[in-house]
Amino acid sequence: MVDRPNKPSAISPTTMSPQPTVTIADDNSTVTAKLPSGEEVTVLLHGATVLSWKAAGGQELLWLSEGAVLDGSKPVRGGIPLVFPVFGPPPKNHATSSLPQHGFARSSRWEYLGKSSTEAQSTTSDNSIKLDFGLYSTALSAEARKAWPYDFGLVYSVTLSKEGLQTMVTVQNEGKEAFEFQVLLHTYFRVKDISKTTVTGLAGLPFIDKVANATQGNPAPTVTFSGEVDRVYTNIPQSTTSILDADGKPYIDVVRDNLSDTVVWNPWTEKAKGMGDFQPKDGFKHMVCVEAGAVEGWTKLEAGETWEGGMLAKSHL
Ligand SMILES: O=P(O)(O)OC[C@H]1O[C@@H](O)[C@H](O)[C@@H](O)[C@@H]1O
């Protein structure tokens, strides 16, 4: 046998650091990514809805209704449904007017495009893993295509790192005419006790109060919860909205990227009762929606143009 002078040395298991893992469910319904440090995210291909985001210690950070329907027959109640191309009930006399509330992205089956990761060089450096999902106009249901007949491509990138969970949306106009859209990351965060939860980062800002017939609400230093809250804050100057826990300690920061609006929502007793897929009925005590988006007016995208925006949710756990 010829002895090779430059024979590569065997890779020692002690110098290899553990890498993130990605698992696709046997029935092709979900993709789960996990970091060696324990953080985990699961995305349902139906709606590209993030169903679960866990901190390194295994604590769940998102609220998912026990009655959530995951088979694609309706949008998911909980996690992070992606609202596009219209927020709320569509206005009359607009190109979105025939679409359902919150649009079609959360009700469509997305394609898993693959993963990319930054690999740690040692056990002390951080890994991150990015999962990409795509939705193209050609894959829409005939009904949605008829209601909003534009040619587009959406890429939704979900990146899990020790820093947090980043969700970025890229919208591409692949047609020959301009279109207008709204977008919102309808995130249901899990909280211990809503009556002791505070949302900060919106101090002094006016808001549209959907609980009071969409009238202008009075600015307040913080948002607290003792009944139904459904507020739309627009043109927010600062980029971070924070959720504080019962002790007033920071729990989750939502950092917006190229999104200037935020919806704060908790349905409380009566609205929760009226939603068939909201379970248990007192589940509103353990959730708050802090939804980063672009919902004031419309974002116009000319033919061939691309737009990107999203959020980074950072956990203090
Ligand atoms: O029941 P849906 O369509 O998921 O909407 C839930 C809520 O979504 C919020 O974003 C809206 O501000 C609320 O008005 C709405 O009730």
pLDDT tens profile 15-67: 567 899 999 999 999 999 999 999 999 999 999 999 999 999 999 999 999 99
pLDDT tens sequence across 118-177: 765 555 456 899 999 999 999 999 999 999 999 999 999 999 999 999 999 999 999 999
Q: What's the 162 CA to ligand 1 centre distance in angstroms? A: 30
Q: Which two tokens stand for residue 162?
A: 């020790």
Closest residue by Cα to atom 9, ligand 1, is: 265
- Out of 39, 40, 102, 291, which one is annotated catalytic? 291
The yes-or-no verdict on residue 209 having pLDDT over 50 is yes
Q: Which two tokens stand for residue 110?
A: 């997305």
Residue 93 DSSP SS3: coil
Residue pair 102/302 in contact by the 8 Å Cβ criterion: no
Any ligand 1 atom below 6 A from CB of 40: no
Q: What's the 89 CA to ligand 1 centre distance in angstroms? A: 9
Any ligand 1 atom below 6 A from CB of 98: no
The yes-or-no verdict on residue 1 having pLDDT over 60 is no
Q: Which residues of 238-261 are buried (b: 16+ CB within 10 A; e: fewer)?
A: ebebbbbbeeeeebbbbbbeebbb
Cα-based distances in Å from 44 to 50, 77, 111: 6, 12, 10
Q: Which two tokens stand for residue 67?
A: 């009655």
Q: Ligand 1: which atom is nearest the Cα of residue 87?
A: 10
Domains of the chain, residue spans: 21-192+275-315
Is 296 considered catalytic here?
no
pTM, two decimals, is 0.94
Any ligand 1 atom below 6 A from CB of 263: yes
Is 291 considered catalytic here?
yes
| Dist CA 156 CA 44 (whole Å) | 12
Q: What's the 88 CA to ligand 1 centre distance in angstroms? A: 7
What does the radius of gyration of the chain's CA atoms come to, in whole angstroms? Answer: 21
Task: Show binding-site residues for substrate.
Answer: 77, 101, 106
ipTM (interface pTM): 0.99
Tell which CATH classification among 3.40.50.300, 2.70.98.10, 3.40.50.1100, 2.60.260.40 matches the domain 21-192+275-315.
2.70.98.10
Residue pair 68/164 in contact by the 8 Å Cβ criterion: no
% of the chain residues with pLDDT over 70: 92
Average of per-residue pLDDT values in the chain: 94
